[in-house]
Structure 1
Amino acid sequence: MTATRAICHRRGVQDVLEQFDEYLALQRGRSEHTRRAYLGDLRSLFAFLADRTPGAGLDALSLPVLRSWLAAQAASGTARATLARRTSAVKTFTAWAQRRGLLTDDPATRLQVPKSGRTLPSVLRADQATDAMNAAESGAQQGDPLALRDRLIVEMLYATGIRVSELCGLDIDDVDRSRRVLRVLGKGNKQRTVPYGQPAHDALSAWLTTGRPALTTGESGPALLLGARGRRLDPRQARTVVHQTMSAVPGAPDIGPHGLRHSAATHLLEGGADLRVVQELLGHSTLATTQLYTHVTVARLRAVHDQAHPRA
């Protein structure tokens, strides 16, 4: 065992994971969400290793161990997309560990990433989206600060198709109200400009005029959206808001913020938007990701055709 690996063994896995987290943040530019997911995956791996071989260190990682861990995950019902992410997390980690001298060789070199198998996402019909926006607006009519915020969350997610993490990360200065556009910092620290419409503008004005001032504290900083205690809104709270809003729409699927993002993309394409424009709005790195939504619209056309055509 080299001196570096011996130090690693004494310090334990946690210190190594903290170094890896720093590498992901500073050198790979990974988002907090991605880093949290990767570290959770690796803790799961090391817990599996500890159960299998008590007292084992980093150098006990091997291809059979990694395959056994993934097999146990699959047997427990873990989705293929999650397995694919966990495989990527391990491969990124072991390659980094080898470069740092913490591993003699990379045990994940021949580890295959399971194909995630894309499925059609649940989306709202246009009339259901309208009903959801109306429900959020109705709840905000009494001027309650949290209700005004919740209306803005739902309106802005649907109007722009941005990710919930991107919405919660917005500062007041990221909003150009005169041009009705947002400056959004997306995955990989890539910045893009996203427009929004008049209804979202109205919700934003009500929030900034009446809602936000009532919740602002010394801890608010420049955050656009605030929680009940005046701190920057957590994405988990925003997800709860969306689910609660959807529960007020009869017949609507129980979708969260990502469902609103899917709905926005689908409705843009159904309205005639160019695929590359939608790619830019959503912040997709490749057009292939955006093309998923063309499958959704075709599926809808097929459903309508089967229902309406006499010889379907």
Structure 2
Amino acid sequence: MTVGGRDTRARHAALPSAMREAVDDFADHLARVRSRSAHTVRAYVADVVSLLDHAVRAGCAEPAEVDLAVVRSWLAKQRTMGAARTSLARRAAAARTFSAWAHRNGVFATDVAAALASPRAHRELPTVLRADQAAALVEAPARAPQAPRRAVEGAPTSSTTTAPPPVSHTGPAPADEPGPPGARSPVDDADEAVRLRDRVLLELLYGTGVRVSEACGLDVADIDHGRRVVRVLGKGGRERSVPYGVPAQRAIDDWLRHGRPTLVAPGSGDALLLGAKGGRLNPTTARRIVRGYVDDLGLPRVSPHGLRHSAATHLLEGGADLRAVQELLGHSSLGSTQIYTHVSVERLRAAYRQAHPRA
């Protein structure tokens, strides 16, 4: 089992065998039963290892000896070490999840953390772009006079400093005749292919509001050209269908017909979005691509998740129902979606303060 960074591994190895076994079983439960992402599993395991390491230092030799006082003293120590409220809230949530699991599986005699109170995480309003800024960002790959930043992906750049010619589009396929994935009319320049790929990436992130990991995980077969929807596999293995618009359709058709065949390699598989070397586009690389275009345009610093925030905010401002936005974003709880109503209210307040004579 992977338990995270070097410090976490060292603490895990130093735990008594019964505690190590409990941590391993808990990680397996999160990954296999609850279908949590690898990132979530690592974060929860790191917190639980930290808790049990603290318990051992407090004199506990077995998991059953951990009680509410130990959990509270662990959180208090985190607070004195300067942990932020959001970090404390996450660690308390990890402790409660582990305690509930341990009680159900006989590791703890009682659910020791059930009554644990934790500071409410302060939820800052996400940074969102204006609609015109988002449009400029999405269209940036087609308008950029210079070659895309292929060095971001570790691919060799061209030896010439001359800007490549504009991408030659043959026009989008008609709505009832989508571009077949097997169509082969590749562009000659790999930089142009990367630019077509970047346009699809940005269209998907803003046009559908999908997470960057979801966008990078898409396969060619996940695109339903006829209905203009994309099948997305989200958190917890939940699948949803998300519609996309005509601009995204054009970008996808151009990429599949002219861009992807240029970058495709033996290891590409069915991946929709490819890196410069032909493998599936990595979310870390996708974040760097977005950051590069944002910086080039001088826009407020937003990440791919910021484009997701922007999409949700613009949908609500345009009159979309909160439940519909919840479904589009793949939120399991409506509470996760309601933050975007706060964004709209704050923007309304800002407009009021700027424009109303009695503000």
TM-score (norm: length of structure 1): 0.85
1:121 has 2:168 as partner: no
Select the residue among 258, 261, 266 that pairs with 1:213.
Answer: 261
Match of 1:187 in 2: 235
How much does 1:267 deviate? Answer: 0.9
Match of 2:117 in 1: 112
TM-score (norm: length of structure 2): 0.75
Match of 2:349 in 1: 302
The 5 Å alignment of 1:237-248 reads 237-248=285-296
How much does 1:285 deviate? Answer: 2.3
Match of 2:100 in 1: 95
Distance in 2, Cα, partners of 1:285 & 1:55: 37
Match of 2:48 in 1: 42
Structure with bigger helix share is 1
How much does 1:39 deviate? Answer: 2.1
Distance in 2, Cα, partners of 1:216 & 1:60: 56
How much does 1:46 deviate? Answer: 4.2
Match of 1:5 in 2: none
The 5 Å alignment of 1:190-201 reads 190-201=238-249
How much does 1:158 deviate? Answer: 0.3
Match of 1:259 in 2: 306
User: What amino acid is the match of 1:37?
Assistant: A
Select the residue among 303, 326, 329 that pairs with 1:282.
Answer: 329
Name the CA shift for 1:311/1:85 in 2 (closer, same or farther; >3 Å): same
Distance in 1, Cα, partners of 2:223 & 2:16: 48
User: What amino acid is the match of 1:24?
Assistant: L
Distance in 1, Cα, partners of 2:53 & 2:284: 26
How much does 1:60 deviate? Answer: 5.3
How much does 1:119 deviate? Answer: 2.3
Contact 2:60 2:66 in 1 (8 A): no
Distance in 2, Cα, partners of 1:41 & 1:148: 42
How high is the sequence identity, in percent, across the aligned residues? 53
Distance in 2, Cα, partners of 1:240 & 1:225: 15
User: What amino acid is the match of 2:17?
Assistant: R
Match of 1:4 in 2: none
SS of residue in 1 equivalent to 2:232: strand
Distance in 1, Cα, partners of 2:251 & 2:82: 41
Give per-residue Cα distances to partners, 1:192-236, cap 9 Å, x unaligned.
111111222222223222333333333322222233443332222
How much does 1:90 deviate? Answer: 1.8
User: What amino acid is the match of 2:261?
Assistant: P
Contact 1:132 1:248 in 2 (8 A): no
Match of 2:139 in 1: 134
Distance in 1, Cα, partners of 2:245 & 2:199: 14
SS of residue in 2 equivalent to 1:182: strand
Name the CA shift for 1:39/1:127 in 2 (closer, same or farther; >3 Å): same
SS of residue in 1 equivalent to 2:296: coil
User: What amino acid is the match of 1:284?
Assistant: H
* Number of matched pairs: 302
Distance in 2, Cα, partners of 1:54 & 1:231: 50
Give per-residue Cα distances to partners, 1:96-128, cap 9 Å, x unaligned.
223333334443232224322332111001121
Match of 1:30 in 2: 36
Name the CA shift for 1:294/1:55 in 2 (closer, same or farther; >3 Å): closer
Contact 2:228 2:244 in 1 (8 A): yes
Select the residue among 12, 18, 27 that pairs with 1:21.
Answer: 27
Name the CA shift for 1:125/1:23 in 2 (closer, same or farther; >3 Å): same
SS of residue in 2 equivalent to 1:193: strand
List gaps (5 residues or longer) in structure 1.
Answer: 1-7
Q: Between Structure 1 and Structure 2, whose CA radius of gyration is higher?
A: 2
SS of residue in 2 equivalent to 1:35: helix
SS of residue in 2 equivalent to 1:288: helix
Distance in 2, Cα, partners of 1:75 & 1:210: 57
Distance in 1, Cα, partners of 2:278 & 2:27: 29
1:165 has 2:213 as partner: yes
Give per-residue Cα distances to partners, 1:161-218, cap 9 Å, x unaligned.
1111221221211111222211112223222111111222222223222333333333
User: What amino acid is the match of 2:47?
Assistant: D
Name the CA shift for 1:94/1:163 in 2 (closer, same or farther; >3 Å): same
Match of 1:271 in 2: 318
Match of 1:3 in 2: none
Cα RMSD between the aligned structures?
A: 2.6
How much does 1:305 deviate? Answer: 1.4
Report which stretch shifted further, 234-243 or 94-103. Answer: 94-103
